[in-house]
Chains A and B, each alone.
Chain A
Amino acid sequence: MHNQDFEQSVQQKMEELSFTPSASVWEKVRADIRPQRRRRVAFWLVPLAVVIGAGGWWLLQEGSGHEVAVNANKVPAANTTTGINSNIGITDDRPENKISSTVNEGDVAGKKENVLVNKNGTQQNARRIQQNSEPAANSSIASKDFNQKNTNTANGTGNESTVAAQPQTASRTASYSRQIFDRTGATQHTNTAAIEQARIVASISLLPPDRNQNELTVTGSKQKIALLRQEAKAVAARGAWQWGAAVHYGVANINRGNMVLQSTAADFSNVSPWPSQNGSSAPLRGPNLQLERGNYFSAGITLRRALGGGFAFGTGLQYERFTQRQMVGELVSRLSLPSNANADALRSEALYRDGAKKSYFHNKVEQVSVPLMAYVQPMRRVPLELAAGVHVGYVAGAKSLQYDTAARLYYAAKPPLNTWHVAGVAGVQYKIMEKGGWQLLGGPQVQYGLNRRNKLGSEPQRQLAYSVGLQLRRR
């Protein structure tokens, strides 16, 4: 037989044993008991990442087209369509293919660009044109003599100079070349045909068969002019106000809110839909709107002004909303009722709710704010924008809707908050696409805010929101 005295004394001593755990233990426990929230966040992050990734890929595709266009403007007489035009199949029967013409566009980006639409079947044809033409005619071939073309313009003959059709017997599927000239570059070269050969080689690397060039080649000068106009608008937009709209969606934390009004009691008295239950005309007990983790949504209009050097300033008006669904009761009838003067009212309330397996609050905090943001695009060729600034706003109110599994709804009364809100915001935006003068940008944003202590004497409210958003901006 064991000597039970020993066991008892050991047991007694061990019962007294206790240690204070370090603070990190609770933090880890708290993090671990919210796996469903995390999974929900991950559920949204995955499709968002896919969308952003697809947008980035699309942008890279678009970006390669712009790259060629930029280089074409900088390299004189670069034949940018060599690899494409052989497939176009424009016949000599069409009038526009029987001649070469130059289109002298307007002032774009401070430079006068001269665009040549030329039918050059082969390099030999080009040489033959230059060699066989009369001196006057030769000088009027736009692709050969830029100075002559400018003279024509100066003499009031218009920006288009038509060259007499050359006796070209090139194949009926002649190329339809588009050449964008830089004025200074073009005037340095007279023997275009000879130089072109080298440029063709040089420009091959710039010629992925992207859709922009195909469009330009197929639709001809109209599309080209539209592109040039668009570029001109972009230039003009620098230094001007741009406008647009933005939406954001994400997760949020609100800690220790103004909305927690005497909510330490763990009973229905602090979530009652009847504000005057305690006999007071003023709702001394409001709904428990302590949002621990919820959803964040914002929408607004934006105004932006480019300051040059990649910097920009932005403002606007924004509506922000924090929402959270919180389960406040399971098997509601089991919750004990407080023993105060309003027990009868509370009991009737609980009985009314009885029968529901679960009861939820749908909490909502709304605020209107003005963003004051600074933007910078650190790399000129990468459409990535860093943004930082503050949101100054006003908390419009907190609402709460209660419902339960018995399909009953309650609108919980709430006191007005009437407090100011300031938040620091930082984010990254990436240009996902650009079409027709519109830009679509998207990226993540983080916001940390503070609401001023309100008149009800509650603690200041802290907000932390992570979101991903889209901004549609008019260039």
Chain B
Amino acid sequence: MDDQKLVQLCLAGRPDAQKGLYERFAAPMLGVCYRYTKSMADAEDVLQEGFVKVFRNLKQFRGDGELGGWIRRIMVTTAINYLKKNIRYQTDLVFESEHLHPVSTDNPDVTLGAKELAGLLRQLPAGYQTIFNLHAVEGYTHVEIGQMLGIHEGTSRSQYARARALLIQWIKIRNKDPKTDVYAQSGL
């Protein structure tokens, strides 16, 4: 069944279609939520909140783009709102304007698996983690990120550079010794 038809049936209030839509997108979307949070429980909370928004706003999906992309944008927005609301992340989610770090030109081989790489990403401070996700994975520009997070564009750039440098450093360490505790060695 194509996405357009699935959406129509969901709009008609068909429970089987709603469940079908959920089952089709839940797993990859949980991966998205996982990257923005620090625990699987939080990721599932974001996923639940995000899918509720999806179903409530399904009428706004015009069918211009892919349904998956539309749902993914909702998930990302939901995750950011979740981080802002959740007190556990608030202390870590401080976007201070730092001195612009020179961006590393290193290009390490990313031989890690997806889950391992996501595990490293989740060890970044929440601010770094969010900005890296938004820029490197989702493809948002720093201007867009600044608007989304309410920060200056330069802040986004500097935090991204720091996050990137940390991640590359950790990946190199992991490439040498997969069992190393990268967080302990990073001095964070």
Binding site for B on A (CB under 8 A): 1-3, 5-7, 9-11, 13-14, 16-22, 24-26, 28-30, 32-33, 266, 292, 326-330, 334-336
Tell which of B12, B27, B40, B114 touches A13, judged by Cβ atoms closer than 8 Å.
Answer: B114
Central interface residue in A19, A20, A336, by most chain B CB within 10 Å: A19
Chain B 152-173 residues near chain A, CB threshold 8 A: 164, 167-168
Given contacts A10-B136, A16-B114, A266-B17, list 15 more A-B pairs with CB under 8 A. Answer: A1-B103, A2-B164, A3-B105, A17-B31, A17-B32, A17-B115, A18-B31, A19-B30, A20-B30, A25-B47, A25-B51, A33-B18, A33-B52, A266-B14, A336-B5
Q: Are B9 and A327 in contact (CB under 8 A)?
A: no
- A14 adjacent to B114 (CB under 8 Å): yes
B22, A26: Cβ atoms closer than 8 Å: yes
A-contacting residues, B90-147, CB 8 Å: 103-108, 110, 112-115, 117-118, 121, 135-137, 139
Pick the contact of A21 from B44, B103, B139 — CB < 8 Å?
B44
For A7, what are the chain B residues with a Cβ–Cβ distance below 8 Å? 135-136
Q: Please name all residues of chain B whose beta carbon is closer than 8 Å to the beta carbon of A13 when the two chains form the complex.
A: 110, 112-114, 117-118
B103 touches A2 (CB 8 A): yes
Does A5 lie within 8 Å of B12, measured CB to CB? no
Neighbouring A residues of B117 by C-beta, 8 Å: 10, 13-14
- Asked whether A6 lies within 8 Å of B164 as measured between CB atoms, the reply is yes
- Give a binary string over B11-54; 1 marks a CB under 8 Å from any A CB, 0 the rest: 11111011100100011101110110000100110011001100
Q: Are B8 and A292 in contact (CB under 8 A)?
A: no
What's the minimum C-beta distance from A255 to chain B, rounded to whole angstroms?
10
Closest 7 CB pairs of A and B: A17-B31, A18-B27, A9-B110, A16-B114, A18-B31, A33-B55, A17-B114
Contact B51–A29 (Cβ < 8 Å): yes
CB<8 Å pairs between A and B, sample of 20: A3-B107, A6-B164, A10-B167, A13-B114, A14-B35, A14-B137, A17-B32, A18-B27, A19-B34, A19-B40, A21-B30, A25-B44, A25-B48, A26-B26, A30-B18, A30-B19, A33-B56, A266-B1, A266-B8, A326-B13
Which B residues are CB-close (under 8 A) to A1? 103
Tell me which of B9, B15, B32, B110 contacts A10 (CB under 8 A): B110
Contact A11 B137 (CB under 8 A): yes
- Within the assembled complex, what's the spacing in Å between the Cα atoms of A334 and B31? 33
Q: How distant is B6 from chain A, measured CB to nearest CB, in Å?
A: 8
Contact residue among A3, A11, A25 (Cβ-Cβ distance under 8 Å from B26)? A25
Most chain A C-beta atoms within 10 Å of own C-beta, residue among B12, B34, B47, B106: B12
Q: How large is the interface on B (under 10, 10 to 19, 20 to 34, 35 or more residues)?
A: 35 or more
Task: Decide if A29 touches B34 in the complex (CB within 8 Å).
Answer: no
Closest-CB distance, B165 to chain A (whole angstroms): 11
Alpha-carbon distance between A67 and B9 when the two chains are bound, in angstroms: 61
CB distance from A374 to the nearest CB of B (A): 36
B50 CB to closest chain A CB (Å) equals 9
A250 to chain B, nearest CB (A): 20
In whole angstroms, what is the CA distance A30 to B108 when docked?
44
Cα A26 to Cα B18 in complex, Å, equals 10
CB distance from A141 to the nearest CB of B (A): 81
Minimum C-beta distance from A29 to chain B (A): 5
Chain A: minimal CB distance from B141 (Å): 12
Most chain A beta-carbon contacts within 10 A, residue among B107, B114, B135: B114
Give A26's nearest chain B residue, CB to CB.
B22
Within the complex, what minimum Cβ distance (angstroms) separates A279 from chain B? 25
Distance A327 CA – B47 CA, assembled complex (angstroms):
27
Contact A6 B52 (CB under 8 A): no
Q: Is the CB of A17 within 8 A of B17?
A: no
Asked, given contacts A6-B108, A19-B31, whether A32 binds B52 with beta carbons under 8 Å apart, the answer is yes
CA distance A441 to B55 in the complex (A): 42
How close is A259's CB to chain B, nearest CB, in angstroms?
14
A10–B105 touching, CB < 8 Å: no
B173 to chain A, nearest CB (A): 16
Bound-state CA distance A391–B44 (Å) is 42
Cβ of B44: which chain A residues have Cβ within 8 Å of it?
21-22, 24-25
- The residue that A3 contacts in the complex, of B15, B17, B56, B106, with Cβ under 8 A, is B106
Asked if residues B107 and A5 are in contact (CB atoms below 8 Å), the reply is yes
Establish whether residues B30 and A18, one from each chain, have CB atoms under 8 Å apart when the complex forms: yes
The interface residues of chain B lying within 8 Å CB-to-CB of A2 are 103, 164
Give B76 Cβ to nearest chain A Cβ, in Å.
12
Contacts of A21 in B (CB 8 A): 26-27, 30, 44, 47
B28 touches A292 (CB 8 A): no
User: Smallest distance from the beta carbon of B160 to chain A beta carbons, Å?
Assistant: 9
Residue on A nearest B1 in the bound complex, by CB = A266
A17, B9: Cβ atoms closer than 8 Å:
no
If the complex has contacts A10-B137, A13-B110, A21-B26, are A330 and B105 also in contact, measured as CB distance less than 8 A? no
On whether the beta carbons of B168 and A26 are closer than 8 Å, the reply is: no
Within the complex, which residue of B31, B48, B107, B164 is in contact with A28, where a contact is CB–CB below 8 Å? B48
Q: CB-CB < 8 A to A266: which residues of B?
A: 1, 5, 8-9, 14, 17
Q: What residues of A have a CB within 8 angstroms of the CB of B13 in the complex?
A: 326-327
CB distance from B42 to the nearest CB of A (A): 12
B9: A residues at CB distance < 8 A: 266
Q: Please tell me if the beta carbons of A334 and B8 are within 8 angstroms of each other in the complex.
A: yes
Mark contacts of B54-97 with chain A using CB atoms, 8 A cut-off: 1 yes-contact digit, 0 otherwise.
01100000000000000000000000000000000000000000
A28: chain B residues within 8 A (beta carbon) = 48
Q: Is the CB of B27 within 8 A of A29?
A: no
